[in-house]
Each structure stands twice: as structure tokens, then as C-alpha cells.
Amino acid sequence: MAAEPTSNTDSPVDFNRAKEDYSLLITMLKWGAVTALIIGFLVMIILAS
């Protein structure tokens, strides 16, 4: 609670933290898409065999 008076100087940190969360979300979406493609490819191979 002692950091509240310095919230103005901490705002860039919060912005950077939000940017890190956004990039983490993008990374999770990328890996989710890659995983979905791999699983779909494996399912197609299994169904085709």
C-alpha cells in the first residue's frame, strides 16, 4: 500500500506489464494454432489410414 503515492512513476511498469501480458496472449494463440494444426494433421492421417 506504500507504493500508491508513487503510482505515477509506476505507471510505465504497469504499461510494460500489460504489454508482456499481451505478448504472452499472442504467443499462447500462436502455439494454440500450431497445436491445433498438428492435432488436425494427425487426426487426418489416422482417419485416412
> Is pLDDT above 90 for 43?
yes
What are the distances in angstroms from CA 29 to CA 3, 4, 17, 24, 42? 34, 34, 18, 9, 20
Give per-residue pLDDT as tens, 29-41: 999 999 999 999 9
Q: Which of 31, 36, 28 is nearest to 44 (CA)?
A: 36
Q: What is the mean pLDDT of residues 14-26?
A: 79
13: its cell numbers = 511498469
